[in-house]
Amino acid sequence: MRSRAFPWVLQLLMIEKNCLGDDLQDGDGPIWDSSGDELNDSSELDREWQRRRDQHHTHGYREGITAGKEASAQGGFNIGFKQSVLVGYNWGVVRGVTSALSFLPDELKERLIGTQEKRNEFRDLYESVHSLSTADALRMFNDDLTAKKALEQRETAEVSSHLAGPQEQSLGSGRLDNYMGELQLLLPDSPALRVHFRRDE
């Protein structure tokens, strides 16, 4: 039935077989039986294998570098956040408390802060804190952090600890922390003011 349904297909197959058979044989047999071609095929496979291996190696190397950069950036962010969040929070508390007090009516300030001297100290702290821009505060924090790291490096390099002792006390807390310290010194004389600072845990 097949031969009746598609006689032209059989004829084409026969013609193709005859043509290929004549072209593919050259006295020694079919081309695919030659050993030189086997070498060409294996060397071609080797080249293809090497190319793909190199391609995947390069791709993996790039992915590794990208993953390393991302992990490093995230790690740096985590360290920076841990170093700055407490100082930033307390700096914000100092700014907020001094701002709120400065805008209160004088009668209310007198009730909250007992003496004129303390009210003047609160006002001076407000002016000092608000004279710093955010960029200035960031710069101060960075300078304090850099100085602290330099001190730590010197301490590890120096054998004598008597030189590092006083410096550690002066650089142990940053200049932004000093504003918080000033506010904390003023608060005991004003018991009506309740301020909560965060501490290192």
| Phi, then psi, of 14 in degrees rounded to 5 | -65, -40
Supply the pLDDT for residue 166.
46
Q: Does residue 95 lie within any of the structural domains? A: yes
Task: Return the pLDDT at 47.
Answer: 86
pTM (2 decimals)? 0.55
Which strand (E) or helix (H) includes residue 58? helix 35-102
Is 180 a domain residue? yes
Answer whether residue 140 is part of any domain.
Answer: yes
HSE-up of residue 3 (Cα within 13 Å, Cβ side): 2
Q: Is the residue at 19 inside a domain? A: no
* CA terminus-to-terminus distance, the chain: 91
- Mean pLDDT per 10-residue run, the chain (201 residues)? 55 60 49 54 82 83 81 79 86 91 89 88 92 90 88 75 45 75 88 78 56
SS3 30: strand
Number of H helices, E strands in the chain: 8, 0
Task: Identify the domain containing residue 156 by its residue range.
Answer: 87-189
Domain count, the chain: 1
**Residue 17, domain member (yes or no):** no
53 located within any domain: no
| 175 domain-assigned | yes
State the burial class of residue 180 (Cβ atoms within 10 Å of its Cβ: 0-12, 13-18, 19+). buried
Residues 6+ away with beta carbon under 8 Å from 90: 176, 177, 180, 197, 198
User: Does residue 45 belong to any structural domain of this protein?
Assistant: no
